[in-house]
Structure 1
């Protein structure tokens, strides 16, 4: 079999492909023929060397993948050869709150999915919704579960009729838009161009704010909500100062990520004035993944895919994703 390998900090040019003997699953494990993987922002961070969690040397990168079970090890009872599966990013996180004991993650401290064959723990597997292809299912483990957790994982969860603000058109934001609409919410999106605004509207956004044309987009969000603000903000860029100005009193800001050159210091007075809850979101548990898939199945949701690259062109997929041109997920087909 062939696998890609990467040292954290080596950059995209550091990706190398090598041949290995086919692995054999051990107790409680299955062997999966990986049919597709997808890229998330964490993969660029791993390549650059600034990912926030440990990355082992010579790691098989990419956390997200989907495939077919081709062999099962001793003690595997609920999974059969031929099953279509994805797997959680944090294999030990089954349910409940995140903690230090769950830090091991695919494509970081553990080998990931940019390989033709992967050995996975049975209790980390998640069945693929019947209506999704392998390419579509490969987009779910990081961005989709993060979006689901951001909307539902605070103990209260998004309520029908509430307003959600999503930022930009990256993977987490697009999934949050789709999930929020499925759950009966109104969605306001920010974006940087008329073309992206049209696409976000096509995907269901009720209103779109061009943050280049309207730098004070928080004020525009308040105007669009008659002064109330968004009940939930999905902050993917670390723009907490503006997010807190856009959120409703006692609302919820899910801090999903940050971009170093846009993450301004937060004035604590803004935090106290908002009365909002700010929660850092680290993907989600297997239980959340399963709950998300039930909503995907019920509403027949389909991930937004921008472009698919063949396995042999994985470095080109990375470069395209890094260019910022994609609106939707970038997938590598096995």
Structure 2
């Protein structure tokens, strides 16, 4: 079977394609043939060497495919079932802890940039009804992060106000989930074409953050005192504006580091507004199952910008690097 590995010195030009023997499922394991994956910023940091991983690590945390064999003791799945990966394969339910999140697909353990993988029967979920493999492969990281931020941690209610930043995969999913729940959504972008795409997906107000560097203050005024939920993706470049945009007692989900690993804050603003900040990383298998049930009811569909083959993984990351994509970049095997 084909496999791609991150070899030292890690770089996008050093992603090695090779052949390896098919694995066989052990007790309680399933053998999945991956049909598609998708790119996340975390995958990019693994592939380009920004995050330290062992030599020969198989990257990519997202995967969707078929079960082609089951080991002894498997009771949850049958051959032919369509499944998708879990970002944290050992975080099945309950609150996160260190033990549950040590295994991280495509980082601390091998990921989905391979044709076949053996996984615990507990470490996958069904894909939504009528979804293609490519559509399902966009969900495990980006969509589940948005779901957890808004629904699990934020307790989103119909009529709430939400701010999503940019037009990457997580932000687009957050917009779709928020609108499906009956929320009023503010969005930011820097280009006219993405402005129109965000509006077409239901964004009620779109702000150009390049022409309005104080966009947080603007959104606070437009919303009549701030929004209920903010999904911050930029860290150092966005967090100050996110705080300005949030209402008194609002909730900010700290999700991304696109603008750097550190950020400066005026602490009195946090105290005065008595707001809540939650640092979060994706979610559990239990949360993913709940998200799939919701998708089956709401009918939302992922926005796929472009598809690449497995052998074109390096080129796909180069495209991701440009920031020109809207929604998700998919790898199809």
Matched, 1:230 2:227: yes
How many angstroms does 1:322 deviate by? Answer: 1.4
Matched, 1:3 2:18: no
1:27-42 paired onto structure 2 within 5 Å: 27-42=27-42
Matched, 1:71 2:95: no
Any unmatched runs of 5+ in structure 1?
none
Equivalent pair of 1:8/1:48 in contact (CA under 8 Å): no
1:75-94 paired onto structure 2 within 5 Å: 75-94=73-92
How many angstroms does 1:261 deviate by? Answer: 4.3
In the alignment, the residues of structure 1 paired with residue 124 and residue 19 of structure 2 have an alpha-carbon distance, to the nearest angstrom, of 25
The 1:196–1:262 alpha-carbon spacing in structure 2 relative to 1, beyond 3 Å, is: farther
In the alignment, the residues of structure 2 paired with residue 30 and residue 135 of structure 1 have an alpha-carbon distance, to the nearest angstrom, of 21
Equivalent pair of 1:56/1:110 in contact (CA under 8 Å): no
In the alignment, the residues of structure 1 paired with residue 263 and residue 213 of structure 2 have an alpha-carbon distance, to the nearest angstrom, of 15
How many angstroms does 1:263 deviate by? Answer: 4.8
How many angstroms does 1:273 deviate by? Answer: 2.1
Equivalent pair of 1:131/1:300 in contact (CA under 8 Å): no
Equivalent pair of 1:5/1:59 in contact (CA under 8 Å): yes
Q: Deviations 1:45-86 (Å, cap 9, x if unpaired)?
A: 1123333xx633210000001000000011111100000000
In the alignment, the residues of structure 2 paired with residue 306 and residue 31 of structure 1 have an alpha-carbon distance, to the nearest angstrom, of 29
TM-score, length-scaled by structure 2: 0.96
Q: CA RMSD in A?
A: 1.4
Matched, 1:308 2:307: yes
Equivalent pair of 1:8/1:47 in contact (CA under 8 Å): no
1:133 matched residue in structure 2 = 132
2:295 matched residue in structure 1 = 296
2:189 matched residue in structure 1 = 191
Q: Deviations 1:155-175 (Å, cap 9, x if unpaired)?
A: x61011000000000111000
Select the residue among 158, 167, 170 that pairs with 2:156: 158
In the alignment, the residues of structure 2 paired with residue 291 and residue 9 of structure 1 have an alpha-carbon distance, to the nearest angstrom, of 40
TM-score, length-scaled by structure 1: 0.96
Runs of 4+ in 1 over 3 A off after TM superposition: 260-264
Matched, 1:247 2:246: yes
Q: Deviations 1:222-263 (Å, cap 9, x if unpaired)?
A: 12112x201000001112221111101001000001124485
Matched, 1:331 2:326: no
In the alignment, the residues of structure 2 paired with residue 124 and residue 139 of structure 1 have an alpha-carbon distance, to the nearest angstrom, of 17
How many angstroms does 1:9 deviate by? Answer: 5.9
1:143 matched residue in structure 2 = 142
2:266 matched residue in structure 1 = 267
Equivalent pair of 2:234/2:260 in contact (CA under 8 Å): no
Equivalent pair of 2:7/2:16 in contact (CA under 8 Å): no
SS in 2 for 1:153: helix
2:109 matched residue in structure 1 = 110
Q: Deviations 1:164-210 (Å, cap 9, x if unpaired)?
A: 00000011100000000011101000110111110000011011000
